[in-house]
């Protein structure tokens, strides 16, 4: 057995964790309920030292498979190297809450809100949906005030949680800010910004096509195929030392330089993580700063964040722009408020309103194809999902149940962090999306 083969399990674990796809993602859902799989109930990493059968360590080929992932999502930095997204030295700006008695009453009222899941005839309560979707943290802001906040599983109010592909929306937001401010030309070809991209399929794509994931690039994420592109990407991006006989690309950016074409740029939306890393390279080249520096400078330091965030990096220290951020629940709520208020927070404008206006308008819906069965006929632009529903909702989304859901009509921001057993949001949307709408409508009745 070659050293490459012997290390494959560890390599797969590292990158599938980073992009948010557990090794058992496409198996049948685990039988343990949210209560049964709670890390405290499972006894993970409890004791000094924990019992051997309760340890979760690196390298461990199952540390991000269910039910271990319910602990691991709050402990990324114990498994992977990261780079800080600093909140700086300013004091945090506290979020505004309802008065204690009103807050407690509101929680009871929201927990009792009922809705009917997609393709179901049976009603479910809001609280039941939290457990059904293995929620670790839930925050709801309405008209600028926190009206609901709960923590489960591994997450405490001072903890941090992996946000998976919501990271893409942070990368896209930074890019859109640059476009609106004139620092980045979204009609420019990638090769004119990154000459090193060479003959890669990305070379002839425009920045906008990368931002909206309408590039014609070959990249398979078929996890059942050991020869799929995802595994080549995994080996390239792994921060673990490369085996002596490894001769493939080293790091995210070297991988992007050898991507082959498939289809035509601009024809259709295809959700492919490599677009986000290409975008991260573009904005870093234009600004001379890493995506972590930019997120700190333009967002975390200015929005009154109360915790630093962190972003995983490859073996060369390049931050994973497609899925590597770990952050606190309340700070994600602050980011949601920035989007709801079109670039303003705490009485300060952090970026032009046009940035959010462009994102809310959505992408070309004809390029979204037939949509997704649970999502509907929405669109995707600047790495944000746009629902095109009656409330004009849009969202950052990540596998295993991560979301920042912004409802402009209801003036609501909802943040959920979760550790759902399977890595496809299609299993969660049938309960989550109707639940979000029901809570939004309930809050509107109280206006």
Using DSSP's 3-state secondary structure scheme, residue 217 falls into: strand
Round to whole Å and give the CA distance between 174 and 181: 11
Closest CA to 140 of 180, 170, 103, 176: 103
Round to whole Å and give the CA distance between 294 and 283: 9
Quick count: other Cβ atoms within 10 Å of Cβ 297? 16
Note whether 361 and 342 are within 8 A (CB). Answer: no
Contact partners, residue 148, CB within 8 Å, separation at least 6: 106, 107, 110, 138, 139, 140
Measured in whole angstroms, the distance separating CA 327 from the mean position of its chain's CA atoms is 10
* Cα–Cα separations (whole angstroms), residue 271 to 280, 371, 437: 16, 12, 25
Round to whole Å and give the CA distance between 181 and 142: 29
DSSP 46-97: -SSSPPGGG---SS-TTTTSTTTHHHHTT-GGGTS-EEEE---SSPP-PPEE
Round to whole Å and give the CA distance between 291 and 135: 28
Whether 165 is catalytic is yes
Round to whole Å and give the CA distance between 385 and 162: 19
Q: Which is catalytic among the residues 22, 65, 165, 284?
A: 165
Note whether 286 and 174 are within 8 A (CB). Answer: no
Active site residues per annotation = 165
């Amino acid at each position: 057995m070659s050293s490459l083969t012997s290390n494959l399990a560890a390599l797969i674990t590292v990158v599938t964790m980073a992009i948010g796809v557990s090794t058992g993602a496409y198996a049948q859902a685990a039988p343990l309920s949210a209560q049964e799989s709670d890390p405290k109930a499972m006894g993970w990493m409890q004791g000094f030292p924990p019992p051997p059968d309760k340890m979760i360590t690196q390298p461990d080929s199952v540390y991000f498979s269910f039910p271990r992932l319910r602990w691991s999502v709050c402990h990324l930095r114990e498994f992977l190297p990261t780079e800080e997204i600093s909140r700086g030295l300013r004091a945090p700006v506290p979020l505004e809450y309802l008065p204690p008695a009103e807050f407690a009453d509101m929680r009871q009222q929201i927990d009792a809100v009922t809705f009917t899941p997609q393709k179901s005839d049976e009603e479910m309560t809001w609280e039941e949906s939290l457990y059904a979707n293995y929620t670790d943290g839930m925050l709801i802001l309405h008209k600028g005030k926190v009206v609901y906040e709960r923590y489960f599983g591994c997450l405490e109010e001072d903890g941090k949680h992996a946000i998976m592909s919501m990271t893409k929306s942070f990368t896209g937001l930074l890019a859109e800010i640059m476009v609106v401010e004139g620092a980045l030309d979204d009609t420019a070809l990638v090769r004119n910004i990154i000459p090193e991209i060479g003959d890669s399929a990305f070379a002839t794509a425009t920045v906008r096509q990368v931002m909206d994931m309408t590039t014609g690039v070959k990249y398979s994420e078929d996890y059942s195929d050991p020869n799929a592109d995802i595994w080549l990407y995994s080996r390239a991006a792994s921060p673990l030392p490369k085996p002596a006989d490894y001769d493939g690309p080293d790091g995210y950016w070297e991988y992007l330089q050898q991507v082959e074409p498939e289809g035509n740029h601009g024809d259709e939306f295809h959700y492919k993580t490599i677009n986000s890393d290409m975008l991260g390279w573009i904005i870093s080249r234009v600004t001379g700063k890493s995506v972590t520096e930019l997120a700190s400078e333009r967002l975390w330091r200015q929005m009154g964040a109360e915790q630093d965030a962190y972003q995983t990096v490859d073996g060369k220290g390049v931050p994973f722009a497609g899925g590597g951020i770990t952050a606190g629940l309340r700070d994600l709520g602050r980011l949601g408020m920035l989007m709801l208020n079109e670039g303003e927070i705490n009485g300060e404008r952090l970026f032009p309103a046009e940035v959010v206006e462009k994102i809310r308008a959505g992408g070309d819906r004809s390029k979204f194809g037939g949509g997704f069965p649970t999502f509907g006929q929405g669109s995707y632009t600047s790495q944000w999902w746009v629902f095109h529903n009656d409330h004009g909702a849009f969202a950052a989304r990540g596998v295993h149940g991560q979301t920042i859901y912004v409802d402009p009509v209801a003036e609501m921001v909802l943040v959920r962090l979760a550790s759902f057993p399977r890595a496809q949001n299609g299993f969660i949307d049938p309960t989550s999306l109707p639940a979000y709408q029901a809570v939004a409508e309930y809050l509107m009745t109280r206006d």
